[in-house]
Amino acid sequence: MGLTLWSPAKVNLFLEVLGKRADGYHEIQTVLQHVDLCDEIRIFEEGKDIAVESRGLPCPEGEENLAYRATALFLKTAGIRAGIRIRIVKRIPLGGGLGGGSSNAATTLWGLNRLFHAGLSAEKLHELGAQLGSDVPFFFGGPTMWASGRGEDLRSLPPLPLSWLLIAFPGFPVSTAWAYANLELTGREKSFRVKAEAEEGNFEPLLALSWNRFEEVVFRHYPIVQQLKVSLETWGARPALMTGSGAAVFGRARAREEAEEWAARLREKETIVFVVQTLSRPPLGPGGIGEVGPE
Common-topology check for domains 2-156 and 164-277: no
User: Is residue 48 flagged as an active site residue?
Assistant: no
pLDDT at 187 > cutoff 70: no
Model pLDDT, residue 189: 63
Band of residue 145 on the pLDDT scale cut at 50, 70, 90: very high
Band of residue 21 on the pLDDT scale cut at 50, 70, 90: confident
Q: How many residues does the chain have?
A: 295
Model pLDDT, residue 159: 92
Band of residue 286 on the pLDDT scale cut at 50, 70, 90: low
- Which candidate in 10, 90, 195, 229 is catalytic? 10
Predicted confidence (pLDDT) per residue in 30-42, tens digit: 999 999 999 999 9
Hey, how many other C-beta atoms are within 10 angstroms of the C-beta on 279? 22
Model pLDDT, residue 295: 55
pLDDT at 294 > cutoff 70: no
Task: Give the dihedral sign, CA 134/135/136/139.
Answer: positive
Task: Give the dihedral sign, CA 121/124/128/134.
Answer: positive
Predicted confidence (pLDDT) per residue in 98-117, tens digit: 999 999 999 999 999 999 99
- Which candidate in 39, 135, 195, 229 is catalytic? 135
Architecture in CATH for domain 2-156: 2-Layer Sandwich (3.30)
> Following DSSP, what letter does each residue of 128-191 receive, concatenated?
HHHHH-TTGGGGGS-SEEEEEETTTEEEE-PPPPP-EEEEEE-SS---HHHHHHH----S---H
Give CA separation, 198 vs 96, 135, 237, 250, in Å. 24, 19, 20, 19
Predicted confidence (pLDDT) per residue in 214-228, tens digit: 999 999 999 999 999
Mean pLDDT, range 243-268, rounded to an integer: 97
Lowest mean pLDDT among 12-16, 150-154, 266-270: 150-154
pLDDT at 283 > cutoff 90: no
Model pLDDT, residue 289: 65
CATH superfamily of 164-277: GHMP kinase, C-terminal domain (3.30.70.890)
pLDDT at 171 > cutoff 60: yes
Mean pLDDT, range 67-75, rounded to an integer: 98
pLDDT at 188 > cutoff 90: no
Mean model confidence pLDDT for the chain: 92
Domain limits, the chain: 2-156, 164-277
Q: Is residue 4 helix, strand or coil?
A: strand
- The more confident residue out of 237 and 62 is 237
- The more confident residue out of 23 and 292 is 23
Model pLDDT, residue 18: 87
Model pLDDT, residue 50: 97
Band of residue 185 on the pLDDT scale cut at 50, 70, 90: confident
